[in-house]
Amino acid sequence: MVAGFGGLLFLMALSAVGSLFLLRGLRSGDAGLQAHFLSRSQTLEQIRSAIYLSGTFARDYLLAPAPDGSIAQRSALTALRKESESSLQTYARSLGPEEVKPFHALEKQIEDYWQVLDRTFRWGPAERAKFEYAFFYDELVPRRTSMLQIADRIAELNELSLKRGNEQLGQRFGRLQSILGLVDGLTFLSGALLAAFTIHYLLRLEAEASRRLSESVAAKASLRELSAKLLRAQEDERRSLSRELHDEAAQKFSAILMEAENLLDLGPGEPVRARLECVRAQARIGLDEIRNMALLLRPSMLDDFGLVPALNWQGREIARRTGLRVQVAAGELADELPEEHRTCIYRVVQEALNNCSRHARASTVQVAIRAESNQIHLSIQDDGSGFDPQRVRGLGLLGMEERVRHLGGSFDVDSHPGLGTTLKVKLPLATLTEIAVHA
């Protein structure tokens, strides 16, 4: 594309420079042609006038009554001869190929003419009286006439050469026109080609971009769907594991405890009693561990009684383990939420409380849930060390946000170093009623 545009610009510049150069050449060619023609015409004119004048002077010399009177004519003729010879030399410097033959003929004629005239200068009065008229009319006049004819022919040839030069210039101009036309056409054609190519390329880019956009949107959506599925699967897994631990494994330990009690009740001897008490103690520890594991996986209150008892339990657990004071304020509606909403809020609060006890060095956390016309508002506020939400994006915040987004909710973190942290979650209840209807 860059090469295409560059080429186009280069072509345009080249055509402009080329035409300027050619036009200048044409103009100077034209001027030169004219000047050449004029100077040659002038030289020819000088030769012609020299020949005319020589005739006049020759006649006056021949007809002069005394030889003394002819001296002035004789010197005038000599001057004319020199003048015409120098004109001939000037003209000879720029001979066209067609002019060579007639010009040499003219030279010869003129030379002969001057030779003939030369002879007359040596005549005595008797010879002059004898020849004067006859010589002038029979010898000099025809010679002069033929010289003038040759000069006319050369003038014609000179004009012809001007015409030819003009024609040549016309041809060159025509060639320039056609070259310019060609270059223009070429430029236009390549411009059009380039434009077509560019449009095609842009359209393809646009199609590609929109295809990639829709691909990435689809990929994002399916990723989101997948992660929602994963979250659900994880929650289901936790629920069933928790229940299994609680209802099966723990009950087995209870049975062992009960049997130990039964055996102790039978009044065994001291070594057996000690072993049995050991069994009972181990069974109690095992029972506690299993119960705690089950509760950590998913507290049974969440499924048995709803969100608020589960949150209260969570708060008490955190308080017992870490000394963090947790206040939970929640209305009745919080217990009537659909399973997904309950789980979402519970997990978000759980994660937030963990953050508070682990990172925030908070002493009090307030958890508030209230329902408005079509939204559930959850806020978790601590008085801990806070952080910069622009820079810190760990702390399970992404996971919390992901859970909230799945239910079409919004998730905001308001925290500043030294000023505590407030998490704000809004979950739409429109989906809630829909879920209730479908359920």
Site residues, other proteins (CB under 8 A): 246-247, 250-252, 254-255, 257-259, 261-262, 264-265, 283-284, 287-288, 291, 299-301, 304-305, 309, 312-313, 315-316, 319-320, 325-327, 364
Q: Which two tokens stand for residue 242?
A: 């928790």
Q: Give whichever of 308 and 348 is closer to other proteins, judged by the CB atom.
A: 308
**Least CB distance to other proteins at residue 271 (A):** 20
Q: Give whichever of 324 and 425 is closer to other proteins, judged by the CB atom.
A: 324
Q: Give whichever of 345 and 432 is closer to other proteins, judged by the CB atom.
A: 345
Q: Give whichever of 221 and 258 is closer to other proteins, judged by the CB atom.
A: 258
Q: How many residues does the chain have?
A: 439
**Least CB distance to other proteins at residue 247 (A):** 6
**Least CB distance to other proteins at residue 248 (A):** 9
Q: Give whichever of 282 and 431 is closer to other proteins, judged by the CB atom.
A: 282
- What's the Cα-to-Cα distance from 334 to each of 306, 378, 402, rounded to whole Å? 8, 10, 21
Q: Give whichever of 80 and 367 is closer to other proteins, judged by the CB atom.
A: 367
Q: Give whichever of 117 and 308 is closer to other proteins, judged by the CB atom.
A: 308
**Least CB distance to other proteins at residue 414 (A):** 22
**Least CB distance to other proteins at residue 312 (A):** 7
d(CA 51, CA 230): 122
Q: Give whichever of 143 and 280 is closer to other proteins, judged by the CB atom.
A: 280
**Least CB distance to other proteins at residue 244 (A):** 12
d(CA 333, CA 427): 13
**Least CB distance to other proteins at residue 303 (A):** 11
**Least CB distance to other proteins at residue 320 (A):** 7
**Least CB distance to other proteins at residue 240 (A):** 14
**Contact criterion met (CB below 8 Å) for 116 and 140:** yes
Q: Give whichever of 29 and 309 is closer to other proteins, judged by the CB atom.
A: 309
Q: Give whichever of 255 and 398 is closer to other proteins, judged by the CB atom.
A: 255
**Least CB distance to other proteins at residue 288 (A):** 8
